[in-house]
Amino acid sequence: DSGVTQTPKHLITATGQRVTLRCSPRSGDLSVYWYQQSLDQGLQFLIQYYNGEERAKGNILERFSAQQFPDLHSELNLSSLELGDSALYFCASSQQGGKAEAFFGQGTRLTVV
Amino acid sequence: GQNIDQPTEMTATEGAIVQINCTYQTSGFNGLFWYQQHAGEAPTFLSYNVLDGLEEKGRFSSFLSRSKGYSYLLLKELQMKDSASYLCAVPLTGANNLFFGTGTRLTVIP
C-alpha cells in the first residue's frame, strides 16, 4: 500500500458526460501528480499541484481540469468525454524536493461507452 | 524535448539474470528513474540515478551513463513475480513530473 488513495476504482460512463476522480496523497506529501495510461500511449503526465497551486502542466486536454484543496486532496475533472478518454488514471504524490520518489495510487479505470 | 527508447518485450528464465536497456534524450538532465508495474496495478519505485555508475539494491541494480544517454536495469536471480513492465523515466522539469518510456514487458518463464 503506497498510502495514496484514489476513488473510485472503476468508472463506466457515456460519451459526452463529465466525471470527477479523487485522490488523497500520502500524509505529509504536498505534491500531487496526475497521469493517464492508455493501452497505446503508456504513462502520460497530465498535471502537477503543489500545496494547492498548479506547478506544471503536461499533455492535459482543455476538457480536463484539476485542483488541489486545502486538505491537499486533489480532483481531476474530465468533461465532454470521448471514447478515447478510456484509460487508467493514476495519481501520485511526493514530498517537496524535485527528485523525491513518487508514490502512485492504485488508479481509476475509466471506461467511456 | 524528451525521448526514451526501451525494448518492448523480453523473456527470461527463472533464476537467470536479465538486463533491460534504456536510452534517453532530454533537455537538461535531472536524473533517471526506474519503476516496476504489474499489469493493471500502480507503478512502484525501483531506483533513481543521477550520477554515472552502478547502484545496487538487493537483486536489482541500475546503471547510468550520462555521456551516452544510457541506463540499464539489471535483475538477478529472477523470480516469477518479476514478470511485469519496467518503466524508464526522466523528470520533465526540475520537479518530479516524469516523462515515461513505453516500458519493457518482462516475462519470466520456468
Mean pLDDT by 10 residues, chain A (113 residues): 94 98 94 90 90 91 96 97 96 76 94 97
Distance from CA of B97 to the nearest CA of A (A): 7
Mean pLDDT score, B19-26: 96
Chain A: residue whose CA lies nearest to B50: A99
Side-chain half-sphere of B68: how many Cα atoms within 13 Å? 11
A113 exposure class (CB count in 10 Å sphere: 0-12, 13-18, 19+): exposed
Size of the A and B interface in Cβ pairs below 8 Å: 69
Looking at residue B53, its pLDDT comes to 96
Do β-strands A87-94 and A31-38 pair in parallel, antiparallel, or remain unpaired? antiparallel
CA distance A79 to A75: 13
Give me the pLDDT at residue A95, please. Answer: 81
Chain-chain contact of B44 with A104 (C-beta, under 8 angstroms): yes
CA angle B11, B109, A2 (to 5 degrees): 80
For cell 506529501, name the residue. A29
- Report residue B34: phi and psi, to 5°: -125, 135
Residues above pLDDT 70, as percent of chain B: 97
Q: Tell me what pLDDT residue B104 has.
A: 97
Give the model's pLDDT for residue A59.
84
Cα separation of A102 and A31, whole Å?
A: 9
Nearest to A42 among B30, B42, B103 (CB): B103
- Residue B81: strand, helix, or coil: helix
pLDDT of A23 reads 98
- Cell digits for B102? 513505453
Q: Which three cell numbers stand for residue A33?
A: 501528480
- The predicted structure's pLDDT at residue B28: 83
Cell of A70: 486545502
DSSP code per residue over A36-58: EEETTTEEEEEEEEETTEEEEE-
Residue B94: its pLDDT value, please?
Answer: 60
CA distance B101 to B24: 9
